[in-house]
């Protein structure tokens, strides 16, 4: 580790004062190329900020806890603690958080305690085995993917706002909104506006933010969408309105099938709603189905790009491709066979110069000359890395 000597001296003093963890009551700073690893609890009663190095949380047998009077601010942070990292005070991320294994856990009854991202902060590596099990928040960003979920699944929410959010905050709840464990009131799924159908009792998200925004949220097998509708094109996002104390439609469109898919909402102000989930009673999206496709951009001349012969009938078109979480990874007006496994969307896709990972993606094509919209799936295979 390349650390300045005073860090070693200070930490030796800290361990002497608090054998059960790392106790900071001074000023701890990680300089350029510096690294520090926490293998025991961190108690921060001092200042940890202005860092430009890497802080890691590593543990096997026990849950690590971050507590103390003040939030610690790290530049780059990685989490590799098998039994998780419990936040009893916030952590700020100035640059990136790398999720490797184990969750970052916050108490949902204390939404002020979050994994908080500053204006250029972003996350990497979130998955079912490593994400935020509780609240994540962001400062001064317009678009952000909240790496949230519960103990077992990543259930990210993608926020696209009209302007920068001073603060936006999100958590996922795998529980019935009729009987939520972290709220002082319930959200009766039988109380709803007349233009929506059955409201999900499986899961919901809590999203805070004062800027008009759209969201992407996805469903999977656990969402039990088939209980809501037999037509996935009917699925819409709904929110519990603070003004009317009922579930109302957030508008938008959906794509997918009954086992996986996502919805993109219309614009709304998150702070106007207590919680958000799915309903199966929206107006069906006017989307027709094309074939599913295989794209293997390995340079062998077979399926190297995504081709749609139908687009010869509509040179004026709009192609969008989304991953299984609803993150838009490709967007092209007047598409002519350009997609070869690489994203052309700025902001969300990390390391996009290396190509998108293999897996299932959704596409939506608007054929403007014909007034038709089509959707389908594609499977992206192994890329040529030479």
Please check the confidence at residue 5 and state whether its pLDDT lies above 70.
Answer: no
Fold topology of 288-380: Immunoglobulin-like (2.60.40)
Read off the pLDDT band of 10 (50, 70, 90): very low
Please check the confidence at residue 78 and state whether its pLDDT lies above 90.
Answer: yes
| Mean pLDDT value across residues 214-218 | 93
Is the Cα dihedral 224, 229, 232, 235 positive or negative?
Answer: negative
Tens-digit pLDDT profile for residues 219-276: 999 999 999 999 888 899 999 999 999 999 998 888 888 998 899 898 999 999 999 9
| Mean pLDDT value across residues 208-217 | 95
DSSP 8-state assignment for residue 313: G
Q: Tell me the C-alpha to C-alpha distance, in Å, between residue 211 and each of 143, 162, 167.
A: 11, 7, 9
Tens-digit pLDDT profile for residues 132-178: 999 999 999 999 999 999 999 999 999 989 999 999 999 999 999 99
Tens-digit pLDDT profile for residues 13-31: 343 344 468 999 989 889 8
Residue-averaged pLDDT of the chain: 88
The pLDDT value recorded for residue 19 is 44
The tokens for 41 are 């609890």
Q: By CB neighbour count within 10 A (0-12 exposed, 13-18 middle, 19+ buried), where does 194 fall? A: exposed
Tens-digit pLDDT profile for residues 22-66: 999 989 889 888 999 999 999 999 999 888 999 999 988 889 999
The pLDDT value recorded for residue 215 is 94
The pLDDT value recorded for residue 12 is 35
Range from 128-132, 336-340, 379-383 that averages highest in pLDDT: 128-132
The alpha carbons of the chain give a radius of gyration, in whole angstroms, of 23
Q: How far apart are CA 65 and CA 148, in angstroms?
A: 19
The pLDDT value recorded for residue 302 is 87
């Amino acid at each position: 580790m390349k650390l300045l000597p005073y860090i070693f001296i200070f930490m030796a003093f800290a361990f002497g004062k608090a054998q059960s963890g790392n106790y900071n009551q001074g000023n701890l700073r990680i300089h350029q190329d510096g690294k520090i690893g926490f293998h025991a609890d961190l108690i921060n009663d001092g200042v940890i900020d202005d860092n430009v190095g890497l802080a890691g949380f590593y543990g096997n047998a026990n849950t690590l806890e971050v507590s103390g009077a003040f939030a610690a601010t790290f530049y780059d942070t990685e989490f590799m603690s098998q039994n998780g990292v419990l936040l009893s005070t916030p952590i700020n991320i100035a640059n990136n958080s790398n999720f490797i294994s184990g969750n970052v856990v916050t108490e949902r009854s204390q939404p002020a305690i979050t994994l908080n991202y500053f204006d250029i902060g972003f996350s990497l590596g979130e998955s079912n085995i490593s994400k935020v099990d509780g609240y994540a928040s962001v400062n001064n960003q317009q678009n952000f993917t909240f790496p949230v979920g519960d103990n077992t699944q990543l259930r990210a929410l993608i926020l696209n706002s009209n302007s920068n959010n001073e603060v936006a905050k999100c958590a996922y709840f795998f529980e019935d909104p009729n009987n939520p464990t972290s709220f002082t009131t319930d959200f009766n799924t039988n109380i709803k506006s007349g233009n929506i159908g059955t409201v999900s009792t499986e899961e919901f998200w809590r999203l805070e933010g004062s800027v008009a925004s759209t969201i992407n949220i996805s469903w999977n097998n656990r969402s039990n969408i088939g209980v809501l509708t037999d037509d996935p094109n009917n699925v819409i996002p709904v929110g519990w309105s603070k003004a009317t104390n009922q579930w109302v439609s957030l508008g938008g469109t959906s794509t997918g099938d009954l086992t996986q898919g996502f919805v993109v909402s219309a614009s709304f102000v998150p702070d106007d709603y207590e919680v958000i989930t799915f309903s199966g009673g929206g107006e069906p999206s006017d989307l027709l189905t094309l074939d599913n496709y295989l794209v293997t951009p390995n340079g062998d001349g077979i399926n190297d790009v995504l081709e749609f012969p139908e687009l010869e009938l509509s040179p004026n078109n709009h192609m969008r491709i989304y991953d299984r979480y609803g993150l838009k990874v490709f967007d092209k007006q007047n598409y002519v066979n350009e997609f070869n496994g690489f994203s052309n969307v700025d902001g969300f896709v990390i390391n996009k110069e290396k190509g998108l990972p293999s897996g299932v993606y959704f596409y939506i094509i608007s054929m403007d000359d014909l007034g038709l919209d089509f959707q389908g799936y594609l499977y992206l295979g192994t890329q040529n890395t030479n």
